[in-house]
Amino acid sequence: MKRTIVLRGYTDFDKEERWLNEMAAKGLACVGWYPYIYVFERAEPGAWTYRSGVLPASDSRQYLAFMAEAGVETVAAFNRAAIFRKPTAKGPFELFSDTESRIAHYQSIRTRWLWVLLLLVVPGAVLDTAFVMSGWSTSDMLPLLLVQLAFICVVPLQMLRATKSIRSLEAERLITE
């Protein structure tokens, strides 16, 4: 069967999930994934429903087994990020069905982005200092500085998006209690 490889970067699990379901509606079923690389095969349009998210830190293996028992296929998992699918004919499914688990999911996403920010800022500052001390000019460092600036702008936006989702879910929880 012919496979199509699509290079696409997502920093938002919700947007990634919407896109995967749009692709499935067009008859392209995601059968493999590695960050920014999606592998698709032709399928009946709308045959699959996809979900994307972060696996629970404490019991990822148990969670994957639970999903398999529920008839949900793991397309791929990498560094606790995962893509799941289920035949649409077998009904809808959610990765996190209750408010508490959805809040925990977004908290996990926010924490991941915090680590990305810390891992970029601290080594980046050390690297920048080393370059300056070795005689590099600002123009020599401009490409590196632009990449750092892009990440320093994108990461807090993703953290803010996760925080807004958490607050929305917490408000929903207050209403339903």
**Rounded Cα gap, residues 39 and 7, in angstroms:** 9
Alpha carbon 165 to chain centroid, angstroms? 14
Residue 168 backbone phi and psi in degrees, to 5: -65, -45
**Which of the two residues, 45 and 175, has the higher pLDDT score?**
45
Q: Where in the chain are the domains? A: 3-90, 99-176
Are 102 and 166 within 8 A, CB to CB? Answer: no
Under 8 Å CB-to-CB from 161, ≥6 apart: which residues?
Answer: 12
Q: pLDDT by residue (tens digit) across 10-26?
A: 878 888 999 999 999 99
> If pLDDT is split at 50, 70 and 90, which confidence band does 177 have?
low
**Rounded Cα gap, residues 92 and 95, in angstroms:** 10
| Reported pTM | 0.70
pLDDT at 51: 94
Q: pLDDT by residue (tens digit) across 96-155?
A: 777 777 777 778 778 887 887 887 777 777 777 777 777 777 677 777 777 777 777 777
